[in-house]
Structure 1
Amino acid sequence: MKIMVYSHDAFGLGNIRRMLAICEHLLTEIPQLSILLLSGSPMLQGFRLPRGLDYIKLPCLNRGNTGEFAVKYLGIDIDKTLKMRSELILSAAVNFQPDLFLVDKKPLGIENELTTAVNYIHQNLPETKLVLLLREILNSPEKTIPEWQKSRYTEVIDKFYQLLLIVGSQQVFDFCKEYKLPHSVTDKTHFCGYIGRPQDCKINQNIREELQLEPLDKLVVVTPGGGEDGYELINTYLQGQELLKNSQYRIKSLVFCGPEMPQKQKQELCAMAVKYPNVEMREFTNDLMSYLSIANAVVSMGGYNTVCEIMSAAKPAIIVPRIQPSQEQLIRSQRMHDLGLLRSIHPQENTPQALMTQLFQILENPQVPKNIDLEGLPRITHHIRNLLADKMTPTQAEFVYPQSNPSQELLVS
């Protein structure tokens, strides 16, 4: 059994981390499976890959604050780079001959770079299934609906795709209703729940010793995700350290800058942090869950993966979302704030005073997120298994996972 996976990577680490988690779960649950991952993430080589998974590294692209794509490293123009990426993807499809093609975020990829590969599969591999996987929020409906209409994405899904899997909850954001999708698309759509993460990898006591935490210390983990636009969040948090001097709490902070934060900004923040002995600065960890497991509070941006990790760890959190070029994080944090799952501060209102006030409040009254659907990984596997049932041996077809019940997806106590 062969699955080819396309990861939409042009900003941050979110997409590649999400797709790697899905790949790992599929490999765990489906015997004799091989997965070929196509990605332009510059951090791909930094992740541990399970047996059965290999990748083709595409040339890196970058999406700036304007939303326009540019070449990240190579000294050639965007059109030539997209042509190279498209030809690499087509070559992978021709030579790998996948039984299923799992596509992340856009039905035809970045700047329609999947068009030739999708057409090849449709014309030459009629038994190959196509599955589109989407976050629960893409952007505001005002932006997303015209973009989908202009790109004719619903027509593409109608013609080429067998399934549309949404990794989220209808009660947070009803993808089909908010984006006004036609019945031809909604009939193919399944809400899978958010992608939960294992509680921890390291032993909690070992982490406390590593961070030199005393029994009465409160740990705050600060993370802007990939970090490319995380400077303001960390800068505001460090400025707020002056307000902690008279706090009743003994607060220690573990701050991850993120591997994609510009080096100059990282150096500036580390120089600021030297003044505060209770702040430890690090660049990156591929095991954030272990640190979240012992945290008393989390301060972060509102990326999909980070929010899933916070929900999985069941930790009180303050989210300061990114607001450009997409409204995705802002919508997610506001909806979850309204449901009582976390606290959200608009970045334009995020002062050191406002951030520390919220932090004191959640340390004083630590309400943790409860009863949110985190069964995304097993449900994705369930749907893919069903789609490939005719190609599976009896052993491969044993795994069964119940369908989600939208009315029970999210119950906030």
Structure 2
Amino acid sequence: MAHESLLILDGKFTSCWSLSLVSMTPVPRRPRIVLYSHDTQGLGHLRRNLVLARGFATDRPGGLGADVLLLTGASEVGLFPRPEGVEAIVLPGLRKDREGGYAPRHLRGRLRDVVALRSSLLETALDGFEPDLFVVDKTPRGFGKELERILPRLRARGTRTVLGLRDVLDDPVATRAQWHADGGDAAVRDFYDEVWVYGDRRIHDLRRVTGMAASSAAVTHHLGYLSADRQDTAALAHRPATDGRDYVLVMCGGGQDGAALCARAAAMTPPAGMDLLVLTGPQLEESRLRRVRRAAAGRPGVQVMRFSRHGAAWLTGARAVITMGGANTVAEILDTDVPALVVPRVTPRAEQLVRAEALAAQGHLSVLHPDRLTTGALQDWVDAAVQTRVDRTGIDRGGVSAAVTRARNLTSPSFSSYRPSRSCHVA
């Protein structure tokens, strides 16, 4: 039975409802973690945070049992399964054009007004949720510095803060220039307890490439790729509707700029006895989706789908995969022995190309530059690849468990202290 109890805090009477406060025993409290991503192109930032959220939220061995709040600019968050304990707040969206500029994704106002609105929403959510740990994806001060006001407040009240970076940001020259333009070292010094890099340092040493100051490098940890433990075991049971036949899978991420790859792939002939599945991505424009469907029309065994929430599980069961090579898709590939061909995005950032070439140099996948993209080139690769498998066991793929361990170490001291509920009334 619940009992109302009176506590004296700072000389004031506080009325709280709890199961029992008679003995003043501290009430167990789940860790609270917020994951922020600005999400201006594709779904990579969101997908990365969803993987981390699953690891932080699970009560199973190896998890943290946390309540996790996602702050995202991707309205597509509702397309993906979220485990118990994970909630999402969608910010007004932003988009990146081919020249690398930014604009509101849906609203028709000025960019600076949308950023100001996002900043206000972010502050309200963070003030209300009172996280123990705040993980910021990629942008040290948030998009357009939308986190710059709230970060000092979080630090002042004891929230631990982490800057999370994908394994590759861009080509080395652009990466170093962007790190310094963003004031990366100053941001780490002023705002962050740690920097997490979601990759294997032996493949790409981001500390060296950015030219981090020694103080930033000292708190930067390469956790390994977010590959192992990415998804629930139950998800792996989902297979596509191929009537039991083997299949080749084509994945174009969010699809915002994947039309050319999808159309060329949809015109292939599946290997004998196999199907060809083309996942275009939910952000592919309708007119370009029709172009892909026309390329596949009348071709036996070729299926074109905009999206499947089971895409990662389908990858595990494929005979071969063709993809644009975003960080999350590559991480999923690295946890399999499925042969993979990456046709990377090369503008406005060379991130996918740098990653793919580094992994190809060690035999983990193949690369086809988009300037050489033809249906024939894809067909030749697929026909040979379905006869092979790839050993990737030498790569550090334990980034999810490493992130959970570091989160536990950062936050565990705060969980032993009593925190009165925010619903308590102070007289």
Q: Name the TM-score class by shorter chain.
A: 0.7 to 0.9
SS at match of 1:43: helix
Aligned mates of 1:274, 1:332 — CA distance in 2 = 34
**Residues of 1 paired with 2:268 and 2:277: CA distance?**
14
Structure 1 runs (4+) greater than 6 angstroms displaced: none
| Map of 1:369 onto structure 2 | 392
Alignment check: 8 A CA contact 2:57 2:66 kept: yes
1:241-390 equivalences under 5 Å are 241=269, 249-390=272-413
C-alpha displacement at 1:32, in angstroms?
Answer: 5.5
Cα-Cα RMSD: 1.9
Structure 2 residue runs of 5 or longer lacking an equivalent are: 1-30, 418-427
2:44 aligned with 1:14: yes
2:266 to 232, 235, 238: 238
CA distance in 1: counterparts of 2:382 and 2:393, whole angstroms: 19
Shift of 1:48: 2.5
- Aligned residues of 1:201 and 1:290 also touching (Cα < 8 A): no
State the distance in 1 between where 2:234 and 2:348 align: 34
Residues 1:62 and 2:85 are matched in the alignment: no
Q: 1:195 aligns with which of 226, 229, 252?
A: 226
Shift of 1:118: 1.0
Q: Structure 1: where are the runs of 5+ without partners?
A: 395-413
Out of 240, 251, 257, which is 1:229 matched to?
257
- The one-letter amino acid paired with 2:261 is L
Distance 1:199 1:219, change over 3 A: farther
Q: Distance in 2 between matches of 1:36 and 1:207?
A: 30
What SS class does the counterpart of residue 341 from structure 2 fall into? Answer: strand
Q: What are the residue-to-residue correspondences of 1:88-107 with 2, within 5 Å?
A: 88-107=121-140
Structure-2 separation of matches of 1:269 and 1:297: 20
Separation in structure 2 between the aligned mates of residue 224 and residue 34 of structure 1, nearest angstrom: 31
Distance in 1 separating the partners of 2:244 and 2:278: 15
1:236 to partner: Cα distance: 1.5
Q: 2-side partners of 1:252 and 1:37: how far apart?
A: 36
Does residue 147 (structure 1) correspond to residue 170 (structure 2)? The answer is no
> What SS does the aligned partner of 1:276 have?
coil
Report the CA distance between 1:200 and its aligned residue: 5.7
Per-residue displacement from partner, 1:268-301 (whole Å, max 9, x unpaired)? Answer: 2112212201101111111113212321100111
Structure 1 residue 368 displacement after superposition: 4.4
Letter in 2 for 1:100: L
Q: Deviations over 1:107-131 (max 9, x none)?
A: 1111111111113223x41x11111
Change (3 A) 1:31 1:378: closer
The offset of 1:55, in angstroms, is 2.1
Distance between the aligned counterparts of 1:370 and 1:180, measured in 2? 30
CA displacement at 1:94 relative to structure 2: 2.0
Q: Show CA shifts across 1:119-150 (max 9, x none).
A: 3223x41x111111110101112112122212
> What does the per-residue CA deviation read over 1:323-354, in whole Å, with 9 as the maximum and x for residues that have no partner?
01111000011111111000001110122222
| SS of the residue 2:195 aligns to | strand
Partner of residue 207, structure 1: 239
Give the percent of matched residue pairs that are identical in Structure 1 and Structure 2.
Answer: 29
In the TM superposition, residue 59 of structure 1 has moved relative to its aligned partner by: 0.2
Correspondence for 1:130 among 161, 168, 177: 161
Structure 1 residues 202 and 140: alpha-carbon distance in aligned structure 2, compared to 1, 3 A threshold = closer
SS class of match (1:232): helix
* Secondary structure, aligned partner of 1:285: coil
Match of 1:85, SS state, is helix
Residues 371, 32 of structure 1: alpha-carbon distance in 2 compared, 3 angstrom cutoff: closer
The 3 A distance-change label for structure 1 pair 312 and 146 is same
CA–CA separation in structure 1 for the residues paired with 2:128 and 2:193: 22
Indicate the structure with greater helix content: 1
Q: Tell me the alpha carbon deviations over residues 20-58 of structure 1, each in whole angstroms, 9 at most, x when there is no partner.
A: 110111111556622222111020122222222222211
| Deviation of 1:76 (Å) | 1.1
1:252, 1:278 within 8 Å by CA — same for their partners in 2? yes
Q: Which has the larger radius of gyration?
A: 2
Distance in 2 between residues matched to 1:293 and 1:92, nearest whole Å: 37
Q: Would the alpha carbon gap of residues 36 and 272 (structure 1) be closer, same or farther in structure 2, given more than 3 Å must change?
A: same
Normalised by the length of structure 2, the TM-score is 0.85
The residue identity in structure 2 corresponding to 1:276 is R
Q: Which amino acid aligns with 1:207?
A: R
Structure 2: distance between partners of 1:48 and 1:199: 10
Aligned residue pairs, count: 382
Say whether the 8 Å CA contact 1:192–1:380 is kept in structure 2. yes
For 1:99 and 1:367, the matched residues in 2 are separated by: 41
Secondary structure of the residue aligned to 1:392 is helix
